[in-house]
């Protein structure tokens, strides 16, 4: 019966009035917080209203999330697009997003520092991640798991990405998504979530 109720909550309205998005239903169904669900829905609604093309819609959603989407966040994005009937052309044609930050507001010194720190941190990151990735074809599932040492190395490196994220935030608002993604990566490293670490590179 619960599944039937969920379906009814998502079912398009046959009336002319615009039906509110079933945010609580999406959040519960996909295991995403209600706050995140609300932000994703608002970004898609704004993109639809402005007539944004696909690339700018993705950018708007990433700004709303504060990072690149992962996991079940994609399911919420698709639900919001369906709800708002937003199936835009791909790419960056069409109108500019009025809610996007000014790309000219960049602290070049902070940007350069952030990029230098990121190169160094990424080199260590790949040294941790690549051995685990190579083992994913191993027939023994036990060998596919990250080792205790790999988990410790990941935890030890996590703070470095927080520092890089701080530098990108100082560089300007257009780097907010990159900074948020790096913080998301640092959280995955502390949790030993190598699957998510692999996605977030």
HEC assignment per residue over 87-134: CCCCCCCCCCCCCCCCCCCCCHHHHHHHHHHHHHHHHHHHHHHHHHHH
Structure token digits, residue 179: 């900074």
Q: Would you say residue 6 has pLDDT above 50?
A: no
Q: Would you say residue 9 has pLDDT above 80?
A: no
Prediction pTM value: 0.83
Looking at residue 142, what is its pLDDT? Answer: 78
Q: Would you say residue 8 has pLDDT above 80?
A: no
pLDDT band at 18 (very low <50, low <70, confident <90, very high): low
Nearest CA-CA partner of 42 in 68, 14, 89, 76: 76
Residue 118: count of CB within 10 angstroms of its CB = 20
User: Which residue carries 């835009």 as its tokens?
Assistant: 88
Q: Per-residue b/e over 27-66, b at no fewer than 16 CB within 10 Å?
A: bebbebeeebbbbbbbbbbbbbebebbbbbbbbbbbbbbe
Nearest CA-CA partner of 123 in 165, 153, 168: 153
Question: What tens digit of pLDDT does each residue of 88-128 get?
Answer: 999 999 999 999 998 889 999 999 999 999 999 999 999 99
Measured N-to-C along each axis, helices 176-191 and 148-171 cross at an angle, to the nearest 10 degrees, of: 160
| Range name among 36-45, 112-121, 133-142 with the lowest pLDDT average | 133-142
Q: Would you say residue 5 has pLDDT above 70?
A: no
Q: Could you tell me what percent of the chain has a pLDDT over 70?
A: 91
Q: Would you say residue 173 has pLDDT above 70?
A: yes
């Amino acid at each position: 019966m619960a599944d039937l109720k969920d379906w009814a909550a998502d079912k398009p309205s046959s009336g002319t009035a615009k039906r509110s998005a079933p945010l609580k239903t999406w959040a519960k169904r996909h295991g995403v917080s209600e706050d995140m669900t609300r932000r994703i829905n608002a970004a898609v609604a704004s993109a639809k209203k402005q007539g944004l093309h696909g690339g700018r819609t993705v950018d708007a959603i990433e700004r709303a999330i504060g990072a690149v989407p992962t996991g079940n966040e994609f399911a919420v994005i698709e639900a919001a697009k369906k709800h708002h009937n937003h199936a835009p052309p791909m790419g960056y044609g069409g109108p500019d997003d009025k809610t996007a930050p000014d790309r000219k507001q960049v602290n070049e010194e902070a940007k350069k520092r952030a990029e230098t720190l990121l190169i160094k941190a990424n080199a260590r990151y790949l040294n941790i991640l690549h051995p685990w990735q190579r083992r994913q074809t191993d027939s023994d599932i036990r060998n596919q798991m990250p080792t205790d040492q790999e988990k410790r190395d990941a935890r030890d490196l996590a703070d470095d990405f927080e520092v890089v994220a701080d530098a990108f935030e100082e560089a300007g608002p257009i780097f907010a998504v990159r900074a948020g993604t790096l913080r998301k990566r640092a959280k995955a490293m502390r949790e030993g979530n190598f699957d998510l670490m692999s996605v977030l590179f």
